[in-house]
Amino acid sequence: MAQTTAEGERPALGHYLKNHLREYGILIALVVIMVFFQVMTDGTLMKPVNLTNLFLQNSYIIIMALGMLLVIVAGHIDLSVGSVAGFIGALAAVMIVNWGLPTVVVIVACLIVGTVIGAAQGYWIAYWRIPSFIVTLAGMLVFRGLTLWLLNGQSVGPFPKGFQLLSTGFVPDLFGPDKPNITAFVLGLAAATAIVIFAFRARARQQRYGIEDEPFVAFAVRNGVIALALAYISWLLATYRGLPNVLITMAVLISAYTFLTTSTTLGRRIYAIGGNEKAAKLSGIRTEWLTFLTFCNMGMLAALAGLIFAARLNTATPKAGVSFELDVIAAVFIGGASMSGGSGKIVGAVIGAFIMGVMNNGMSILGVGIDYQQVIKGLVLLAAVIFDVYNKSKQG
Amino acid sequence: MTTPILEMRGITKTFPGVKALDNVNLTVLPGEIHAICGENGAGKSTLMKVLSGVYPHGSYEGEIFYEGEAMAFRGIAESEARGIIIIHQELALVPLLSIAENIFLGNENASGGVINWPETYTRTTALLRKVGLTEAPTTPVDKLGVGKQQLVEIAKALSKEVRLLILDEPTASLQENDSQKLLDLLIEFRAQGIACILISHKLNEIRHVADRVTVIRDGATVSTIDCKAEEISEARIIRDMVGRDMASRYPARDVAIGEVLMEVEGWNVWHPEHAERQMIRNVSLNVRAGEVVGIAGLMGSGRTELAMSIFGKSYGRNISGEVRLRGQPVDTGTVPAAIAAGLAYVTEDRKGLGLVLPETILRNTTLSAMQKVSSYGVVDPGAERKVAEGYRAALKIRTPGVFQKVMNLSGGNQQKVVLSKWLFTDPAVLILDEPTRGIDVGAKFEIYGIINDLAAQGRGVIMISSEMPELLGMCDRIYVMNEGAFVGELAKGEASQEKIMSMIVKG
């Protein structure tokens, strides 16, 4: 990447990239994987209809990955999210289809139930110090069982139109019904511009503070790639049906959680707990309370993901959410979170989820059997984590 | 004269920047009980680690002769194979396994990997009888008290055909009668020809069992006293243990002591796991504004437990007693409450309890009082940076920038980051637990300067230290602690190393 830079900058750039291999590595990996499947599928991957599908398919994984990142940063794990998502989908179906309750009421009630489920698990983990692995393994079984019980082993559906909009709805075009969808493209451009502006502001601030700054080439390439990708993707989506509602939900949540993890005392304290719980406790941080909160939050996001998944399938099935937890956890670790807690970034988890999503999608298009798909995904996860460990040991 | 069973000649062991042992000589005769005395950090444990092969041959200078042969142990397995068994102060038993399983752990009575349980139990019973235990071999070790666990350790040593038994402060955590039992056992072993090295601070024990005493100070042998030839005089041992000039200097300060800031009264704490063990016994203390109060005591005397139990009940259970700040009783039951009351505790375990190592200086500095640089839960990066830079300048933290991760800093600079964190909470009273441990001399002097500044600002400082010269140089008043209780209080003028040490060994 550095061959075109000026003579004097080269060592600095090389040095910088070497030290931040992990952060760039994952972005590069996503780009490489996308290019690979784009070529192998003869361009099917980036077709607007497939791209739209890609977002719809992965939205619930990404949403849960946001919560899982916090859980893992705090030094825990949550195995129950798939079952909880399935349970909430079932609950929503029963409330709407069988009882005829209004959609909005059901959505709010389901989010509250999800939070309560998270709280019930977080209570034992935070205040009784029962390992999260055990508590959430129990939760995984309990809520899978409750899902079966709620649905009587049957699928329940279909949902009313309003509920389906959660997943399959699209943002209407303000500029008229013709294709392309101008609103989608404008919003995409706005997002790309916003990201570039934020990046420049952050860079200016970092330079003012004298943080080891990113060489300009790396900065420009990184943000250029992201901004162009956003613009290009929004254009592609615009030529199909526009922006899916769920993409907006995701964008809002990703921004909110990025802000939470980087700029708030709450987020910073969660990182401190994961980095050294005893030191955090002796520094006056209410470690139990914050651990409890991360699980409440995880429960709420799992509920949201369950609603979106049910809306997408337009039915609640007893199988909904099976093994979602594994995809979510894999996404977070591929995204560079540390197994021992204390480090990891929201953007990393999101990219990790996309890597998994693109591979799923690409391999399915190619007709790779589900058997090989699992093997390959497993190996990618292992490779990502080995890469992490290797990088760390090299840094000493 | 008989050939010594062990002869260590000219042992020198250097760690980066520190000479832990400097030309130490130690001779142990067959069938004798040889006591080793010395202050904390004098080098006793290092010497035993050299002997047992924890520090392998080649990582130290000097020679070890054992039963007449030159030895070059590369690991603890090799020294154990020759019958040198070391029993550490921290017991190395697996709590959930049975006595028999522990005794033969790694050395099982097995053929082809299949354990012969009947033989194991028979041999265990025999070994237990030798150390005076009547417990069933199947009893889990965690069902035994500390004293009996100690005896199980010794039984384990006996199972390995021990020739030279090393005990590192074996009676430190024992009750009086358990200690007596253990010492009687050593005398019995002596009769069977087993030599024994006993590391101990308790002069009455040494007088009771030891044949000879070697005193180590600052990594060098000071003297070896033959107890048969001469009466052991406590005064002489104490003098040998501490007798050094004040090597390092302490910055001068104008003492302006004000009203009483903090008082602790009738403080009692029990062990968090062993409910019957009382760790702190009826301790009362006070500290005035502008005063530096020291707490002297050996390791394990309960100093850290006292401090942590006061600070947010971070240690122990069944805590009773009262804490008053400026005459008012305050709640210090949780860490946030203790901080709000105006307390700060700088831990002795900087890396384990003091810092979030993978995070930056900046983030560690504001960790305890992040609300001061944020509004509505959102951190103001500019204000935060200003705070961190301020402490970096004031405490002379040497670093390229406040965005350095603290794990990359030297011990002295790390300690300054911990101090920054607590200063930012603006405490009335700071408890400093071993504030200069593992810090080089230059940085120590700077830390002393910071402590003096804190006192000059009218804060109260409680300083816990194992280094007596440091306490004598810094403190206006010193409490002496032993076995969880205060056994004396000395004003600056009357305090001396000899006085403190004699309070400890007699208390």
Strand partners, B63: B9
Per the structure block, which two tokens stand in for B474? 């810094």
Model confidence at A4, pLDDT cuts 50, 70, 90, reads: very low
Between residues A312 and B252, the one the model is more confident about: A312
Residues of B in contact with A268 (CB under 8 A): 363, 370, 379
Give every CB contact of residue A173 below 8 A, 6+ residues apart in sequence: A181, A182, A183, A184, A242
Residues of B in contact with A278 (CB under 8 A): 352-353
Phi, psi of B129 (to 5 degrees): -65, -40
Interface test with A, best of B343, B356, B378, B379 (most A CBs within 10 A): B356
- What are the tens digits of pLDDT across the range A329-381? 999 999 989 888 888 999 999 999 999 999 999 999 999 888 999 899 899 88
Q: How far apart are CA A130 and CA B205, in angstroms?
A: 44
Compare CB distances from B358 to A263, A265, A343 and report the shortest one's residue: A343
pLDDT score at B1: 54
Query: Which B residues, 196 through 225, put their C-beta within 8 Å of a C-beta on chain A?
Result: none
Under 8 Å CB pairs connecting chains A and B tally to 81
Residue with tokens 């409890």: A292
- B168 touches B48 (CB < 8 A): yes
Window B:374-413, CB contacts with A under 8 Å: 374, 377-379, 381, 385, 401, 403
Residue A337 Cα distances to A41, A120, A275, A340, B376, angstroms: 31, 25, 12, 9, 28
Amino acid code (one letter) for A147: T
Q: Decide if A302 contacts A118 (C-beta within 8 A).
A: yes
Amino acid identity for residue B242 in this structure = V
Residue whose structure tokens are 């949780």: B334
With CA atoms as reference, report the closest residue to A351 among A243, A259, A264, A225.
A225
Nearest to A70 by CA among A328, A267, A310, A287: A267
Nearest to A363 by CA among A41, A120, A4: A41
Contacts of A20 in chain B (CB under 8 A): none
Selection from A297, A293, A351 nearest residue A62 by Cα: A351
What pLDDT, on a 0 to 100 scale, did the predictor assign at position B507? 60
Question: How is residue A97 annotated by DSSP?
Answer: I
Q: Which two tokens stand for residue B59?
A: 């990582």
pLDDT at A9: 42
Comparing C-alpha atoms, which of A39, A129, A27 is closest to residue A75? A129
Give the pLDDT band (50/70/90) at residue A209.
low
Residues B447 and B421 sit within 8 Å (Cβ to Cβ): no
Which structure tokens are listed for A312?
């997408």
Considering only A61-65, A142-146, A160-164, which range has the smallest mean pLDDT?
A160-164
What DSSP state is assigned to residue B371? G
Q: Are β-strands B33-37 and B195-199 bridged in parallel, bridged antiparallel, or unpaired?
A: parallel
Answer whether B401 sits within 8 Å of A283, measured CB to CB. no
The CA distance from A240 to B435, in Å, is 66
Bond preceding residue A158 cis, omega within 30 of 0: yes
Q: How far is A71 from chain B (nearest CA, A)?
A: 18
Two tokens, residue A278: 């005893």
CA B501 to chain centre: 16
Please name the residue of chain A whose CA is at the shortest distance from the CA of residue B371.
A265
How far apart CA B320 and CA B314 sit, in angstroms, is: 13
Q: Which residues contact B448 (CB under 8 A, 6 or more apart)?
A: B250, B251, B436, B473, B474
Calculate mean pLDDT across residues A271-298.
Answer: 95
Q: How far is A75 from chain B (nearest CA, A)?
A: 13
Structure tokens at B177: 């009668």
* Chain-chain contact of A210 with B314 (C-beta, under 8 angstroms): no
The ipTM (two decimal places) reads: 0.84
> Which residue in the block uniquely carries the two structure tokens 């005063």?
B291
Q: Could you tell me the CA-to-CA distances from A311 to A61, A86, B343, B403 in Å, in that order?
A: 14, 12, 54, 46
What span, in angstroms and rounded, lies between the C-alpha atoms of A90 and A317? Answer: 7
Which chain A residue has its CA at the smallest distance from B311's CA? Answer: A282
Contact A342 B374 (CB under 8 A): no
- Which member of B336, B339, B367 has the closest CB to residue A272? B367
Structural tokens at position A244: 């899916």
Query: What residue of B is the nearest CA neighbor of A343?
Result: B358
Query: What's the gap in Å between the CA of B417 and the closest CA on chain A?
Result: 13
| Cβ <8 Å between A276 and B355 | yes
Sheet with B260-270: strands ordered across: B278-288, B260-270, B317-325, B328-329
Residue reference for tokens 């389906």: A164
Confidence class of residue A396 from pLDDT cuts 50, 70 and 90? very low
Say if CB B429 and CB B344 are below 8 A apart.
Answer: yes
Contacts of B358 in chain A (CB under 8 A): 275, 342-343
Is the CB of residue B367 less than 8 Å from the CB of residue A285? yes
Structure tokens at A199: 């990046």
Q: Tell me the two tokens of residue B266.
A: 């009738």
Q: B465: helix, coil or strand?
A: coil
Give one DSSP letter per residue of B165-196, joined into a string: EEEESTTTT--HHHHHHHHHHHHHHHHTT-EE
Both structure tokens of A81: 């999210």
Q: Using the 8-state DSSP alphabet, how is residue B140 labeled?
A: B
Q: Mean pLDDT, chain A, as a whole number?
A: 88
- CA atoms of B189 and B83, how far apart (whole Å): 14
Interface contact B425-A284, CB threshold 8 A: yes
**pLDDT (0 to 100) of residue A1:** 35
Low-confidence ranges of chain B (pLDDT < 50): 245-247
State how beta strands B317-325 and B328-329 pair.
antiparallel
With H, G, I as helix, E, B as strand and everything else as coil, classify residue B304. Answer: helix
Contact B74, B25 (CB under 8 A): no
Query: pLDDT of A103-114, one tens digit each?
Result: 999 999 999 999
Distance from the Cα of residue A223 to its chain's centroid: 20
CA R_g for chain A: 21
Residue count of chain A = 396
Rg over CA atoms, chain B: 25
- What does A369-383 look like in DSSP terms, one character per residue? -HHHHHHHHHHHHHH
Q: Do residues A135 and A121 make contact, with C-beta atoms less than 8 angstroms apart? A: yes
